[in-house]
Amino acid sequence: MVSPSCLLFGRKEERGVQRQMKPKGVMVWAGVGYETKAPLIFVKSGVKIDTDVYREDILEPVEEWALDHYGTDTEGN
């Protein structure tokens, strides 16, 4: 005979629960504008964000996307 708890929750051997004491984090940069959104930029876990990393890995790709998407102003900036 099968117990009702096995029918509802599955047998103990079939149930699996993974637990982590300290899950890995993720950092994501996102930009949203009127009728548009910038591509998500994911920063690898454990990377220390300093000025150089922020500029090279986040701002430069966003600037390139913005120039492609919006173009330059009338003064060429």
Q: Average pLDDT of the chain?
A: 78
pLDDT in tens, 8-36: 555 655 666 677 676 677 889 998 888 88
pLDDT at 76: 63
Domains of the chain: total: 1
Please give the residue that has the higher pLDDT: either 40 or 33: 40
Whether 26 maps to a domain, the answer reads no
Report if pTM > 0.85: no
pLDDT at 61: 92
Whether 6 maps to a domain, the answer reads no
pLDDT at 70: 84
Please give the Cα distance from 31 to 40 (Å, whole number).
8
Task: Quote helix, strand, coil % in the chain, to nearest 5.
Answer: 35, 15, 55
